[in-house]
Structure 1
Amino acid sequence: MYRSFAAYYDRLMADVDYDSWINFAEQAFALAPKRPQQILDLACGTGAITKRLLDRGYDVVGVDLSPEMLALSADCNQSYLEASRLLLLAQDMRRLELPFTVDAVVSFLDSLNYLESYKELAQVFERISRVLAEGGIFVADLHTEHKLSTMVGNDVFYEVSDDMAYLWLNHYDAEQRAVEMELTFFVARENGLYERFEEFHRQQCFSQEEIEKALTEAGLDIIGIYGDLKGGSLEENSERYFVVAQKK
């Protein structure tokens, strides 16, 4: 997962307003006993969120399962690595482990939907609680079932450009409450031919009740679960859960 795709991830995410996500996180950080200094960016990917946190003066630990994603993050954050303000670690979030605590944890852009069961969600929240300092803030988002079942559902997405084309097929399994995604890319090479590669992804639905239960069992106080980045209430057609919690 995210092997060959890693090099094209940012291109597909070009319309994301990352600064709005950081603004939401900073509003949550203001609830901490003191301004966070070191932040864990869990499932940090290519480093788009990481870079913006660093630019705003925070030190960051970036954790991701994909070495390819981490390599891209290192490339775009090289000066921060050299200044020892960024640490990048290849870890599975289900086995997250740090030799120190952090002041806040963020996990953005539906990374938690890649967990395959409630058991794994609860396991990750417990790991997050372990690495958070007392009073530390946890901020995350997850796709809602509405988003995965109706807006992603069984739809097909595609793009064709001069140097790349992709086809994104989705299948929603109502019994499993999960979307299976098949991505096929065709990338132009210098010899005029196209290289084809495929990736398979799966995203799991979690209900608000499941999220709240997992947070509580992990010792995280729920500050709020919102329907948008402005702190609006959840609606039936909300596309994401925006979660803010605090270590007891």
Structure 2
Amino acid sequence: MGAYLEFARVYDEFMDNVDYNEWCSFAIKLLKKNGMENCNLVEIGCGTGSATMLFAKAGYSMTGIDISQEMLEIAMDKKNDEDIIYVLQDATELELPCKVPAMVSVGDSMNYITEYEDIVKVFKQVKKYLEEDGVFVFDLKTRKYFSDIGDSVIAEDREDNSFIWENYFDEETSINEYYLSIFVQGDDGRYDKFEEQHYQKGYTLDEIKTAVAEAGLTVSEIYEAFTDNVGSEQNDRVYFIVKNGEK
């Protein structure tokens, strides 16, 4: 999974249109539906901790895992008295001091795992550290979402910074590439330019089901994001409920 570098400095500002409350509220709804409330919860791909803090405020004892040191430094700066531990780790090599009842991942962090073998590794580590009958809730952008966006350009200009986001989707490999050009205003009023490249994979639901089964876990349910509808390839975003045990 690639790490955000300079984009971490302005990530929260450019993500201010993202409804973290909606993402987290739906994940919490699914966790509670499966008996996971006020428990230890590990978040994979926690980024700058915006979602982590919401889970903590909902009563969970949080451990946030991310591969980006820059993101975690920002998360630590934002932290107040919330019950949160942040750890710098690659999810494919997840290590915890003990097993936990639940894990979560929101904001399509799982899409950043672009190799099938690596997503199997992540699920195997989840299996290793989930308690018996433990639950892993995560969301995914679907292949349809990336295909619909296709080749496009997004640009935003703010008071102190701006970015150009060039998007390319390869229909054969299902790999989506983001080219980021970031302009950050310094104290002297001049702008520094930073360039980054990120990749996400548009997995099919069957690919994820197969990977989950290969790791010894069970897909319990799939939902269309923020609804009670059964998730399908026609949705833009879906939530998986995966269990360490039978359905």
Same fold (TM over 0.5): yes
Structure 1 counterpart of 2:129: 131
Question: What is the aligned residue count?
Answer: 243
Is 2:119 the partner of 1:121? Answer: yes
Cα distance in structure 2, aligned partners of 1:154 and 1:193: 31
Matches within 5 A, 1:62-211: 62-80=64-82, 85-151=83-149, 153-211=150-208
Aligned to 1:5, the other structure's residue is in SS state helix
Gaps of 5+ in 1: none
Q: Return the offset for 1:220.
A: 2.1
Cα distance in structure 2, aligned partners of 1:4 and 1:33: 39
Q: Return the offset for 1:33.
A: 4.9
Summarize the Cα distance change of 1:36–1:3 in structure 2 as closer, same or farther, 3 Å threshold. same
Q: Is the 8 A contact 1:28 1:137 kept in 2?
A: no
Q: Is the 8 A contact 2:231 2:239 kept in 1?
A: no
TM-score (norm 2): 0.93
Cα distance in structure 1, aligned partners of 2:239 and 2:122: 17
Q: Return the offset for 1:145.
A: 0.7
- Identical aligned pairs, as a percentage? 34
Letter in 2 for 1:68: E
Residue of structure 1 aligned with 2:7, choices 5, 22, 27: 5
Cα distance in structure 2, aligned partners of 1:89 and 1:147: 30
Q: Return the offset for 1:147.
A: 0.8
Q: Return the offset for 1:52.
A: 0.6
Summarize the Cα distance change of 1:142–1:236 in structure 2 as closer, same or farther, 3 Å threshold. closer
Q: Return the offset for 1:233.
A: 2.7
Per-residue CA distance 1:41-87 (angstroms, 9 max, x = gap): 1110000111011111110111100011111111111423xxxx321
Structure 2 counterpart of 1:58: 60
> Over the residues paired in the alignment, what is the CA RMSD in angstroms?
1.5
Cα distance in structure 2, aligned partners of 1:236 and 1:34: 27
Letter in 2 for 1:46: T
Cα distance in structure 2, aligned partners of 1:237 and 1:29: 24
Q: Return the offset for 1:21.
A: 2.1
Q: Return the offset for 1:186.
A: 0.9
Aligned to 2:97, the other structure's residue is in SS state coil
Cα distance in structure 1, aligned partners of 2:236 and 2:158: 28
Letter in 2 for 1:21: W
Q: Return the offset for 1:22.
A: 2.2
Moved more, 225-234 or 107-116: 225-234
Cα distance in structure 2, aligned partners of 1:71 and 1:210: 34
Gaps of 5+ in 2: none
Cα distance in structure 1, aligned partners of 2:39 and 2:241: 18
TM-score (norm 1): 0.93
Aligned to 1:45, the other structure's residue is in SS state coil
Is 2:237 the partner of 1:246? Answer: no
Structure 1 counterpart of 2:211: 214
